Amino acid sequence: MIDMSRLGVDFAGVHFKNPIIPASGTFGYGREYEEFFDLSLLGGISVKGTTGSRRNGNLPPRIAETPSGMLNSVGLQNPGIDHFIGEELPYLKTKNTVVIANIAGSNEDEYRTVAEKLDSTDVDMIEVNISCPNVKAGGAAFGVSCDGAARITRVVRKATSKPVMMKLSPNVTDITEIAKACESEGADAVSLINTLLGMRIDIRTKRPILHNNVGGLSGPAVFPVALRMVWQTANAVKIPVCGMGGVSSWEDAVEMMMAGAVLVQVGAALFSDPNCPVKIVEGLSEYCRNQGLSSVTELTGSVKVW
Ligand SMILES: Cc1cc2nc3c(=O)[nH]c(=O)nc-3n(C[C@H](O)[C@H](O)[C@H](O)COP(=O)(O)O)c2cc1C
């Protein structure tokens, strides 16, 4: 039994029983993880990125191991929004946890259509991926300029009254400018970071290991970069920040919160330990008790900068 009494968090008008959420694309729709733990122990679930219609993703190989991390070029493989709403959402809504739909599109119309369809469902929040480095059209193309980020935020904001969280790309010169552009168009929150663009080459074949040539780096290797970006962003915007990138332990989650995150997502770490989100919730609870905190929210932004 995990003591959740200190772990409740309000974020963009939604109550989370604790701040720990499996990150989009690393948890599917939760079904495969149910054999490891009770999904109701999670603060929420961010589901696999969903587009207007079914996508097969990129050709394999699309995963490569890297020092303390991994590269992926899955490319938004998903069964499409109608399948999500008809088959996955009803299942997820029985799990007593916050359900975050993660959406993506090739153009403004696709983002609009998907957001409009979700508006009439009981999904709790929409995370808008403007930062996928693995698709040719759309995705990161919007998230790497203030204008693109603002345009997609505007389109989604108009299409839904659900809380909107814009997911930011680290592949930019100044992530705070992108966050401010989203905030100014009515985003309720931002989440960051998506993966860092990377590459590996097989020296025997001279071919890139990924069929897509490049892919997104995630896992512990990116943690310090993610932490720095969360800290900068939390200091630049008034809307709340959901931090992720390389979190694999409760200590990492505490650091993320100290840097300014209200919620924390866990991605690649799930592939080496499927139980890690629950271990993080447990560790966070213990830490709060040992530190004499009445609420985990006291951690957010508590870093004492030099
Ligand atoms: C295999 C894989 C698939 C992913 N798919 C998505 C996706 O569909 N939508 C999205 O917004 N982010 C996606 N991401 C990015 C993660 O949600 C997260 O932002 C990133 O991996 C950094 O966190 P981590 O280091 O804890 O994995 C994916 C990451 C991985 C490793």
Render each residue's pLDDT in the chain as its tens digit; 306 residues.
899 999 999 999 999 999 999 999 999 999 999 999 999 999 999 999 999 999 999 999 999 999 999 999 999 999 999 999 999 999 999 999 999 999 999 999 999 999 999 999 999 999 999 987 767 666 678 999 999 999 999 999 999 999 999 999 999 999 999 999 999 999 999 999 999 999 999 999 999 999 999 999 999 999 999 999 999 999 999 999 999 999 999 999 999 999 999 999 999 999 999 999 999 999 999 999 999 999 999 999 999 999
- Helix intervals (H) in the chain: 81-83, 89-92, 108-119, 140-143, 146-159, 175-184, 223-234, 250-258, 269-272, 276-291
For 255, counting Cβ atoms within 10 Å of its Cβ (0-12 exposed, 13-18 middle, 19+ buried), the class is: buried
- Note the pLDDT of residue 134: 67
Ligand 1 atom at shortest distance from the alpha carbon of 247: 26
- Nearest in space to 154 (alpha carbons), one of 101, 99, 111, 106: 111
| Residue nearest atom 2 in ligand 1 by C-alpha distance | 25
Other C-beta atoms closer than 10 Å to the C-beta of 272 total: 11
**SS3 state of residue 265:** strand
User: From ligand 1's centre to the CA of 193, what distance in Å?
Assistant: 9
Q: Is 132 marked active-site?
A: yes
First to last CA, the chain: 39
User: From ligand 1's centre to the CA of 198, what distance in Å?
Assistant: 14
Structure tokens, 234: 């939390």
Element (H, E) at 276: helix 276-291
User: From ligand 1's centre to the CA of 9, what distance in Å?
Assistant: 23
Ligand 1 atom at shortest distance from the alpha carbon of 195: 20
Ligand 1 atom at shortest distance from the alpha carbon of 268: 27
Structure tokens, 265: 């997502």
User: From ligand 1's centre to the CA of 72, what distance in Å?
Assistant: 9
The β-bridge partners of 202 are 207
Ligand 1 atom at shortest distance from the alpha carbon of 49: 8
The CATH code that applies to domain 9-299 is 3.20.20.70
How far is Cα 60 from Cα 299, in angstroms, rounded to an integer? 41
Structure tokens, 301: 């932004």
- Note the pLDDT of residue 31: 96
> Does the model's pTM come out above 0.85?
yes
User: From ligand 1's centre to the CA of 260, what distance in Å?
Assistant: 20
- Nearest in space to 251 (alpha carbons), one of 216, 290, 295, 304: 290
Q: Do the Cβ atoms of 53 and 84 come closer than 8 Å? A: no
Structure tokens, 32: 């495969």
Q: Which amino acid would we find at residue 57?
A: G
Q: Where are the domains of the chain?
A: 9-299
| Residue nearest atom 29 in ligand 1 by C-alpha distance | 25
- Note the pLDDT of residue 132: 76
- CA torsion 136→139→144→150, rounded to 10°? 140
- Note the pLDDT of residue 131: 85
How far is Cα 131 from Cα 182, in angstroms, rounded to an integer? 13
Residues with CB under 6 A from ligand 1: 23-26, 48-49, 72, 74, 76, 102, 129, 132, 167, 194-195, 218-219, 222, 244-247, 266-269
- Note the pLDDT of residue 104: 95
